Structure 1
Amino acid sequence: MKQIYWIFSAILMLSLVQGCSSNNQHETWLYPGETWEQATPQEEGVSSQLLQQALDTLKRYSHRDGLEEVLVIRNGRVIYAGDSVTKSHNIYSCSKSFTSMALGLLIAEGKCGLDDKAAKFEPILQENYSDATLRHFTTMTSGYSAKGGSRWPDWESDDWSWTPYQADEPHFAPGTGYLYWDENMMMLGRVLTQIAQEDLHAYLSERIMNKIQLGTWKWGPEQSLDKIPIRNGCTNIEMNATQLARIGYLYLRQGKWKEEQLVPREWVRAAMVNQVPMEVDLKTDNRTLDGRGRYGYNWWVKGIAGDMPDTPDGTAFMSGFNHNVCFVIPEWNMVVVRMGLDGNPEEGKRFVYNRFFRELAKAVK
């Protein structure tokens, strides 16, 4: 009997040690210092030849910038870098995911709740948007529209009014439709500035960017609020591919950087899964902007729409005009960044990157 007891005890201790080892391995994940570590693809379990074939596929669907600002990171090390990955410029609508990050932090600090009415913090929404919640804004289901037509004369859309903070009649009742609408995010940027009572650039710099050693980054304002700059919630963040990859890597690690949980794990998980039902009405004719079954909290996801069948299930990505993207692929412990100023692929990003990931899957061991 005593012998059985000691055998059982030994098995229990072994399992505990293995569990601790697993946790320690989790804690010793590699993070970049001032720069990213380099490795060959083979060192990180990726075929160089097949990786290049996947990159060649991506290049075929890209314009003049090609692979110049492409970065592939696996297990915390760079296994491919284009020649211009330190070129800094506007990442366009990838900026929306930063606005979402600020929302997640404000919720964690107890300053607001996801289902709080936005008008609770911004009185100008009270008349036409009294039922629109912060959740509606971060999922593009608020129906928000501003007064006035577009500031861009060649746009057929009425988005991008010169007066984005003057609320007009809604496109639809909150939660009943989906419309990818930049004015929606401009207003969310204003609402979050009201909640924080702080410049969102400074807010994120203190809590996130400085701690992950991001370096210098810019976020253009869209007016001000009592002398506090209102950062444009939909665009105007400037950084380079090596910096954008740090944000992707932070989300790959579910908001943790080294020993510190910078973004709540629950928020990261929720942001990177579909939050928009397939059943709501699509309020745009542009099918490349259809977020039903594909959109989280200002993150695009593989989702449940079925149009990225060859892409790993957990994949989520930031996406901006001019073919700026940052993909997070948990199954492969990988971040893929492509930046540029050369226009979106005509075939649509979801089609292009499904082709890319189909080829990349052959390279990953």
Structure 2
Amino acid sequence: MFKGLSLFFMLLLSLTAHAENWPAEQWLTGPTITGPALEALEHYAFPPRDDSTRQGIRTDALLVIRDGQLIYERYAGPTTAETPHLTWSISKSLMATVLGVAYGEGRFKLQDPVAQFYPPLQKHPDMTLADLLHWASGLDWQEDYEYAPLKSSVVTMLYTRGHPDMAAFTADHGTYAAPGQAFRYSSGDTNLLSAALKTIVGQDRYADYPWTALFGPLGIHHAVWETDAAGTFVASSYAYLTARDLARIGLLMARDGRWGERQLLPRDWVAFNREPFTRYQANQDDAVPGGHWWLNRAVDGAARPWPDAPADTFAALGHWGQAMYVIPGEHLVIVRYGDDRDGSYRHNELLKLALKAFAAKVQP
């Protein structure tokens, strides 16, 4: 009898060890984390900061959610808990999440031609929405930044002649491959998705759609998303969220698109986001592209790009060190905002140290 009771209580503990908490207006707070592992993480993430040179690792915010509870939060520089921080290319994963709500409403299928929703792409009739989500449009796009601005498609799109209508500028590019045949990272592909969303949800709903479809249901009230002169969200680059609000997107994805009792994103959409693009040729230094999210998967004979993190880790990543890591098996969401300029920050190093500090030590 006592053995049976013991097994019962062990089962009860295992079921409650990772209680399914959900944030209301504010995040619930969990146990305070201290100790040498946390000190090692902070030593890496928050070294002395020299704003005169902008060299080295410059973390603006580091926030950790475990089991739906806020267990760690620290800010630096001008950033605070109330600061909507520029997310740069995390915006791309946000657009994929907004599209996921529209997909759940039955407004499009992944294999629909993009030209059905964005007529300037009629000269590319075989390009599908899935191709854009895989960054596999086949358009001859150069994603170079300040290191090679004169030949950069993205710099031209964001700052010079492409700025007034970024989707039209992208659609005017020639091709280097057939759609769906090769991965080439492209901010232009994401802005084509943003333009297609106008037709997908209707012009009358478009301007408010990210808020009514996604941000509002998650309790995100202070997001900012810039548009170009054509009124299209700059989905490649210009969404701003606080670290606490971005973590709500991570929790939604960690729980397969469910928010409380509501299945906000269809499970098959989240599965698509987290499945590697089959034609991707692995580079061991880079995360693996999924459906506009980045994956820690071993593909094509290459090892996982973040070897010290679990294989189920996936992320939304942005320029200058923006990152949101989702680790479902550890019930963790980690938001890291930064102002890194010299490339010294390493995803794997932060993940390794964060897991030592925050991974739950639950005994079977």
Band the TM-score falls in, shorter-chain normalisation = 0.7 to 0.9
The SS at the match of 2:43 is: helix
Aligned-pair CA distance for 1:39: 2.5
Does the aligned pair in 2 maintain the 1:67–1:82 contact within 8 Å? no
- The one-letter amino acid of 1:275's match is F
Match of 1:132 among 127, 136, 142: 127
Gaps of 5+ in 2: 50-54
C-alpha RMSD of the superposition = 3.3
Partner residue in 2 for 1:358: 352
Match of 1:113 among 109, 114, 119: 109
Partner residue in 2 for 1:51: 38
Partner residue in 2 for 1:231: 233
* 1:85 aligns to 2:65 (yes or no): no
The sequence identity of aligned pairs, in percent, is 26
Query: Structure 1 92/186 Cα, relative in aligned 2: closer, same or farther at 3 Å?
Result: same
- The one-letter amino acid of 1:78's match is L
* 1:38 aligns to 2:29 (yes or no): yes
Match of 1:158 among 137, 150, 153: 153
* Aligned residue pairs, count: 326
Alpha-carbon distance in structure 2 between the residues aligned to 1:201 and 1:64: 38
Alpha-carbon distance in structure 2 between the residues aligned to 1:41 and 1:51: 11
Partner residue in 1 for 2:340: 343
Partner residue in 2 for 1:318: 316
Aligned-pair CA distance for 1:58: 3.2
Query: Structure 1 134/266 Cα, relative in aligned 2: closer, same or farther at 3 Å?
Result: same
Alpha-carbon distance in structure 2 between the residues aligned to 1:153 and 1:311: 32
Aligned-pair CA distance for 1:255: 1.2
Gaps of 5+ in 1: 1-10
* 1:70 aligns to 2:50 (yes or no): no
Question: 1:1-365, aligned counterparts within 5 Å?
Answer: 29-42=20-33, 48-59=35-46, 66-83=58-75, 84-127=80-123, 129-145=124-140, 154-159=149-154, 160-161=156-157, 162-163=161-162, 164=166, 165-166=168-169, 167-198=172-203, 199-200=205-206, 202-224=208-230, 229-279=231-281, 294-304=288-298, 305-306=302-303, 307-340=305-338, 342-344=339-341, 346-347=343-344, 352-363=346-357, 364=359, 365=361
Does the aligned pair in 2 maintain the 1:312–1:329 contact within 8 Å? yes
Aligned-pair CA distance for 1:273: 3.1
- The one-letter amino acid of 2:134's match is T
Alpha-carbon distance in structure 2 between the residues aligned to 1:208 and 1:276: 29
Query: Structure 1 152/57 Cα, relative in aligned 2: closer, same or farther at 3 Å?
Result: closer
Query: Structure 1 112/344 Cα, relative in aligned 2: closer, same or farther at 3 Å?
Result: farther
- The one-letter amino acid of 2:265's match is V
Does the aligned pair in 1 maintain the 2:115–2:122 contact within 8 Å? yes
Does the aligned pair in 2 maintain the 1:201–1:219 contact within 8 Å? no
